[in-house]
Chain A
């Protein structure tokens, strides 16, 4: 540990305050009781699928093509999540199945 307990606690407090600020700002700016501008409402509608797609790419940022272990497990497990979900529409099954497959692949097959 490089920090004293007090310094670490201060760092945690700053992280908490800044994180809350990023969440509260849209409400401070646009939540005055009147309807937010049309453009804001429009973005609120079309952003969710774009953001989820962004987060998927972000989750997969560690994929590399230098060796199979870098891309085959995420490709197979990701494909399994999508196919399982198209097939059964069961969140638990899709997530459990894909994660278990991924763990087997990175620990066993490619480990």
Chain B
């Protein structure tokens, strides 16, 4: 990976930079108030690298949860990753040793960027993906370290800064909506998750939602297959969405 690839990847990752600095800082602040300082923040963000998983991790550490509890709850909150990998199998093929890092660093946001962003002309696509993944990871580490340090030093009111993550997902959704051949998957995802929220509650909503989404999309395959990804549709929509880097 050279400077040119990094320079090409950086603009694509700017929304994640903002989102990760904000959410990472919030994590660092929480961890600090739970009694774990900057070294913990750094190593958790370096080795776990999962937003909601690390938020959960703070409360697991603070309450002194047992290792089986830690394992089970981490599995539940990260279950959606199982699905993310499916979309990336083709993309990561042939990446050699770097593939291991790509798999490790497949967060919600990196997944979103990789599933939509296109490497610019003249850039090796695998190096581009690798650069995007590494930049995002470094933002996350930086954010948590800054948050941890700020937790002991400053008194700035950061209430509400975590909305950056919601805004990021909304922006990605708008881009996907404009580019999509069919809006059924997006609508289905929203409705299924709302149903899951109402039935299962805020704590346990993700797993049932994911189950409903996968089941419904599988059943709807005869109607949907080929709609969102016909070769013609794809090239046309990609031209249209060139302006938006993260979608």
Tell whether, in the assembled complex, residue A103 and residue B163 are in contact, meaning their CB atoms are under 8 Å apart: yes
**Closest residue of chain A to B105, judged by CB?**
A23
Tell whether, in the assembled complex, residue A55 and residue B108 are in contact, meaning their CB atoms are under 8 Å apart: yes
Provide the residues of chain B in CB contact with A85, threshold 8 Å: 170-171, 174-175, 244
Tell whether, in the assembled complex, residue A50 and residue B166 are in contact, meaning their CB atoms are under 8 Å apart: no
**Complexed CA–CA distance, A26 and B192 (Å):** 23
A27 at the A/B interface (Cβ < 8 Å)?
A: yes
**Complexed CA–CA distance, A33 and B221 (Å):** 25
Tell whether, in the assembled complex, residue A56 and residue B214 are in contact, meaning their CB atoms are under 8 Å apart: no
Tell whether, in the assembled complex, residue B163 and residue A77 are in contact, meaning their CB atoms are under 8 Å apart: yes
**Complexed CA–CA distance, A74 and B166 (Å):** 9
**Closest residue of chain B to A3, judged by CB?**
B64
B7 at the A/B interface (Cβ < 8 Å)?
A: no
**Complexed CA–CA distance, A31 and B87 (Å):** 12
B89 at the A/B interface (Cβ < 8 Å)?
A: yes
B229 to chain A, nearest CB (A): 5
A16 at the A/B interface (Cβ < 8 Å)?
A: yes
B209 at the A/B interface (Cβ < 8 Å)?
A: yes
Tell whether, in the assembled complex, residue A81 and residue B167 are in contact, meaning their CB atoms are under 8 Å apart: yes
Tell whether, in the assembled complex, residue A58 and residue B186 are in contact, meaning their CB atoms are under 8 Å apart: no
Provide the residues of chain A in CB contact with B243, threshold 8 Å: 89
**Closest residue of chain B to A61, judged by CB?**
B202
Q: How large is the interface on B (under 10, 10 to 19, 20 to 34, 35 or more residues)?
A: 35 or more
B3 at the A/B interface (Cβ < 8 Å)?
A: no
Tell whether, in the assembled complex, residue A54 and residue B213 are in contact, meaning their CB atoms are under 8 Å apart: yes
**Closest residue of chain B to A48, judged by CB?**
B115
Tell whether, in the assembled complex, residue A95 and residue B86 are in contact, meaning their CB atoms are under 8 Å apart: no
A82 to chain B, nearest CB (A): 6
Tell whether, in the assembled complex, residue B172 and residue A52 are in contact, meaning their CB atoms are under 8 Å apart: yes
Task: Give the interface centre of A40, A42, A62, A86 by most chain B CB atoms within 10 Å.
Answer: A42
Provide the residues of chain B in CB contact with A12, threshold 8 Å: 40, 43-44, 47-48, 57, 61
Tell whether, in the assembled complex, residue B89 and residue A30 are in contact, meaning their CB atoms are under 8 Å apart: yes
A66 at the A/B interface (Cβ < 8 Å)?
A: no
Tell whether, in the assembled complex, residue A43 and residue B217 are in contact, meaning their CB atoms are under 8 Å apart: yes
Supplied contacts A14-B71, A20-B104, A42-B224, 18 more A-B pairs, CB within 8 Å: A3-B61, A11-B57, A12-B44, A26-B88, A43-B87, A44-B87, A53-B173, A53-B190, A57-B193, A57-B205, A61-B202, A81-B170, A95-B167, A98-B163, A98-B166, A98-B167, A98-B170, A107-B160
